[in-house]
Each structure stands twice: as structure tokens, then as C-alpha cells.
Structure 1
Amino acid sequence: MKTILLEMVGLQFGTKGIRKYLHLSSLATNTYVSTLNANLKGLIFYVVFLKKSSPDTI
């Protein structure tokens, strides 16, 4: 009985750890994606701005 209880407690802590890790990694991914989006928007704006300012070069 004691080993089963210990295994259950271990399982609980294990799943909590995995959940926390997944949560943190998803947060990191979201941050990365939003940074990427911001960079892409900046790049698009830059290209459009260049096209407007000098249409003959591009």
C-alpha cells in the first residue's frame, strides 16, 4: 500500500512538473512568435516605405 501511495504522489508531482514545463515552453513560444510577427510587420513596413520613397530602385 505504501509503495502505491508513493507512486501516486510521484505521478502527481511528475504531471505537475510536466504541465509547468509545457506552460513555460508555450509562453516562450508565444513570446517568440509575437516577436517574429513584430519583426515581419517592421520589415513589410520598411519595404513598403522604401517602395514609396524610391519607386525606381525596387
Structure 2
Amino acid sequence: MKSIRGKKYVLGIKPKNKMMVPIYWCFQFHLDEDKGMEELTGWAQYNHIPVIYKKKFGRWF
């Protein structure tokens, strides 16, 4: 996963049965974004957690 025009991707963990992601469950990889995404998807597959790629998601404070 590469950043677009110098912008980093924001990732969010959505609680089950909720429509929005809490702001404190949103994060970015600051160093090696590609390696971070590989580790995150590997962890999710190991724990049977679906990973969904969306362009935008709702957040609340």
C-alpha cells in the first residue's frame, strides 16, 4: 500500500454492530507503511477478522 501525494492512509477498527469508528481506534503507520499493512493483514487472517478496504469511513469523537 503506497501513500498518495505524500498523504498517509488512515486505518480504523470498527466495533462489531456499530456504524462508526471511534476516533481513538483510528491510526496511521508512520514508518514502514507497507510492512505494517502486511503484519496487520496477517494478524487479522490468523484471528479470522475480516479486513475491509474503504476509501472513507465514519468516525466519532
Asked if Structure 1 and Structure 2 have the same fold, meaning a TM-score greater than 0.5 normalized by the shorter chain, the answer is no
How does the TM-score come out when normalised to structure 1?
A: 0.30
- Give the alignment's TM-score, normalised by structure 2: 0.28
Q: Which has the higher strand share?
A: 2
